[in-house]
Chains A and B, each alone.
Chain A
């Protein structure tokens, strides 16, 4: 395989001076996740809550289905309906699976293949790199939460024929999935930036989530104080949902505390990721 006696052509085009330098990372990440083995099966599964709630929504608009009157009452309360849609255990579980499936290797893969010199010798800084990685997972999480949420609103309007919807509630159903997706993305990328071992990352994401719930339950049982439920990721997500949608919180403490906890931990995790990537940039090719 010899070097060809072919001249080197100069490229006369113009490099993109502005714009989103992280965008190629986003596009590559989206394609890569979609081409993974079992991706289509997982994405099909992730669309299940939407289909179930869509059917339920249709049912709620049919007064002749009297045997489902309790369900109809729930579904006709928009705030309850969207709170249940977003905060239900299945959707949270789907979030967790998506984080493991798509997010676990986002940064750990680059550690493993030592790909940082390829990124940081380009016009990218750690912020661009993190935004690129962030956007990949955020895209998929919002695809299976925010998009179905907005579609459900549209279908509800279509099924009922009444073209009015509470603007505040609409804001909540935009903000809530964004808020939760940001938290899960930061959490996943933080764990992914700690090691080059993808399996460890996947296990850690799952275990941290499960143990946070278990520890919260144990502490609450020992001290008989609901404040310890704030140690649970799941409970904080549910509390925040209740706060945003204006429904009764599942635990009897102000729901805004949970929103603050999630907000602060997201900020903290992003800070740590930034430090880790900045260090990875500086440590490229450490040696002579």
Chain B
């Protein structure tokens, strides 16, 4: 599969405010996370990708369609799950999802059939004949996802997909997104300010700040999926302790505060760390779970940019 997105020097301003400033992005097929603090330009970028906004400078293509000229064609292949509450009241979930399928160009009968399928898939099968205004926010999120999936798009844009969900619902939503990403030929761009959501679902992350791309990397290269991070201060033979940890396939680094940062492989538990310390006659005088690598990367990227 080719590139899903190509942006070249795209810019967009609200008056004097540069919402998107000379952004160039190339995305291959896969699952991307769009990270950034509030006002970073994530939503504006999504709007440009969807063709809601015409870039004031630069050019771009989404799924091979020009973002300025082929908006309608482009949107036939995009599924969009908005962040905000935006359901049409007075309809049940089947009617609404069918309606959205029809608006995407599906024949009525196909849209009805498909609506039932996607509502079942997102876990709303029992509530599908309820009026949408009676839905909880978690159910509304699921319904929005069903609406985005109904026409089987090639690119799925999810804006804060877990917004307003309780921990259980959030876990299920992330599981669903992972399932779509892993076993379907669908590309996904997730815009979120929740780093754990991005870590749990994305292969690659793009960090935006002040309308510019300040960092791009694959999530797995940051090691966030494979390790738990702990900060330790130890007393004893540190070298031997580090050797033993590395033999356990753990990465060990020293941070700027002189603490040992251990990236403990997921196949080991934290008790293995303490057992090793006992075996080596070490004292652990400070111990705490560290922030994830992605958090560090995010803070570093945004912080460095703000410093500039």
Point out residues on A near B: beta carbons under 8 Å. 1-4, 6-11, 13, 15-17, 21, 24-25, 28, 32, 109-110, 113-125, 281-282, 284-288
Contact with A along B94-136 (1 / 0, CB 8 A): 0000011011111100100010010011111111000000000
Residue pair A13, B40 in contact (C-beta under 8 Å): no
A-B contact count (CB 8 A): 138
- Across the interface, do B47 and A284 meet the contact criterion of CB distance under 8 Å? yes
Interface SS, A side: loop
A10 CB to nearest B CB, Å: 6
Indicate if the CB atoms of A8 and B179 lie closer than 8 Å.
Answer: yes
B42 touches A (CB below 8 Å) = yes
Select from chain A the residue with minimum beta-carbon distance to B36. Answer: A288
Interface check B159, CB cutoff 8 A: yes
18 A–B contacts, CB within 8 A, in A order: A1-B124, A16-B105, A16-B106, A28-B99, A113-B88, A114-B84, A114-B86, A115-B86, A118-B100, A120-B50, A121-B80, A122-B103, A123-B73, A123-B105, A284-B52, A285-B82, A287-B39, A287-B43
Nearest B residue (CB) for A116: B86
Q: Please give 17 more A-B residue pairs, beta carbons under 8 A apart, in addition to A8-B184, A21-B103.
A: A3-B176, A10-B185, A32-B90, A113-B86, A113-B87, A114-B84, A115-B87, A117-B80, A121-B78, A122-B75, A122-B103, A123-B104, A124-B72, A286-B43, A287-B38, A288-B36, A288-B39
Partner pick for B102 among A17, A24, A32, CB 8 A cutoff: A24
Q: Which of A1, A9, A13 contacts B107 (CB 8 A)?
A: A13
Residue B270 CB within 8 A of the other chain? no
- The 10 A-B residue pairs whose C-beta atoms are closest, nearest first, are A121-B80, A15-B105, A16-B105, A24-B102, A11-B152, A117-B82, A122-B103, A3-B123, A114-B86, A123-B72
What is the interface size of chain B, counting residues whose CB is below 8 A from a CB of the partner? 66
B47, B76, B179: which contacts A285 (Cβ < 8 A)? Answer: B47
Q: Which residues in A have their C-beta under 8 angstroms from that of B39?
A: 287-288
Please give, as numbers and ranges, the residues of chain A lying within 8 Å of B147 by CB-CB distance.
118
Interface residues of B in 141-192 (CB under 8 A from A): 147-149, 151-152, 159, 172, 175-176, 179-180, 183-185
Contacts of A115 in B (CB 8 A): 86-88
Minimal beta-carbon separation of B182 from chain A (angstroms): 10
Residue from the list A114, A125, A284 in contact with B85, Cβ < 8 A = A114
Asked whether A4 lies within 8 Å of B121 as measured between CB atoms, the reply is: yes
> Known contacts A1-B126, A24-B102, A284-B52; is A125 also within 8 Å of B82 by CB?
no
Interface bits B29-72 vs A (CB < 8 Å: 1, else 0):
00000001111111110110010110000000000000000011
Residue from A7, A119, A121, A286 whose CB has the most chain B CB atoms within 10 Å: A121
Most chain A CB neighbours (cut-off 10 Å) among B80, B86, B106, B125: B86
Q: How far is the CA of A105 from the CA of B31 in the complex (A)?
A: 39
How far does the alpha carbon of A125 sit from the alpha carbon of B76 in the complex, in Å?
12
Q: Which among A1, A120, A125 has the highest number of chain B CB atoms within 10 Å?
A: A1
Smallest beta-carbon distance B99→chain A, Å: 6
Closest to A19 in B: B105
Cβ–Cβ contact A11 & B86, under 8 A: no
- Residues of chain B lying within 8 A (CB to CB) of residue A21: 72, 103, 105
The answer to whether B90 and A288 touch across the interface, beta carbons within 8 angstroms, is no
- Interface presence of B83 (CB below 8 A): yes
Cβ contact within 8 Å between A11 and B42? no
Residues of chain B with a CB closer than 8 A to A2's CB: 123, 172
Which residue on B lies nearest to A18, using beta carbons? B105
Q: Write the chain A residue with the least CB distance to B123.
A: A3
Query: Contacts A121-B75, A125-B72: A4 and B99 contacting too (C-beta < 8 A)?
Result: no
Complex: chain B residue closest to A280, CB-CB: B52
Question: A284-B82, A288-B39 are contacts. A10–B175 as well, Cβ < 8 Å?
Answer: no
